[in-house]
Amino acid sequence: MFCGKKNCDYSDLGTGAVRRRSFFGLFFGLAGGAMAFAIPIYAAIKSVIDPLKNKGLGGKFYLLTSLDSLDEIPQKFPIADDIKDAWITIPRQTIGNVYVRKIQEGNETKVLAWQSLCPHAGCTIGLKTQENPETQNVELLFSCPCHTAHFDLNGKLLDKKPDAPRNMDLLETKIENGQIYVKFEVFAFGTPEKKSS
């Protein structure tokens, strides 16, 4: 090593002091190398495990809108939450959609909310108008595009088909200070009973 002075002592070259510095250099080099391998391996394992943990994403109440802004026509709302993926958190990603409508029963105002995924195989249910052959009135219905299951505006399955096993999945709601909250959940597809996925 060059000391930059007139009389320099290079006597410790090749001695214990230099060997100690070499040892520490080697030690920290190996530790750094091990960390460089360990971090991506940990991230890979975590990225495999996390989706399993995230399977139950939702299962809590989400704020939707104000009670005043709802009416009898169902409205579709996206549900957004933070998605954790290995080392990063992606904020406010859409994790699903719900339909919500408000109905009046006597003096009581009720809010009904449904999961937008079809209970048969998980396609996204839409809304469509259709003429009622008995009354000739044009009616609004929930309709699944995949295997043409239809549901009335209370989520009741209209055309019983072997492949459309149950009514639309009703979700829990609550009203606080005039705001609507819905408990977002995804249920198992293809089963006659509504059960957690």
Query: Where do contacts with ligand FES occur on this chain (CB under 6 A)?
Result: 118, 120-121, 123, 144, 146-147, 149, 163-164
Q: Which is nearer to ligand FES, 100 or 164 (CB)?
A: 164
Residue 119 CB, shortest distance to ligand FES, in Å, is 8
Q: Which is nearer to ligand FES, 20 or 161 (CB)?
A: 161
Residue 43 CB, shortest distance to ligand FES, in Å, is 35
Residue 121 CB, shortest distance to ligand FES, in Å, is 4
Question: What HEC string does the chain produce?
Answer: CCCCCCCCCCCCCCCHHHHHHHHHHHHHHHHHHHHHHHHHHHHHHHHHHHHHHHHHCCCCEEEEEEHHHCCCCCEEEEEEEEEEECCEEEEEEEEEEEEEEEEEECCEEEEEEEECECCCCCCECEEEEEECCCCCCEEEEEECCCCCCEECCCCCECCCECCECCCCCEECEEEECCEEEEECCCECCCCCCCCEC
Take residue 37 and report the two structure tokens written for it.
Answer: 């391998």
Residue 113 CB, shortest distance to ligand FES, in Å, is 19
Residue 160 CB, shortest distance to ligand FES, in Å, is 12
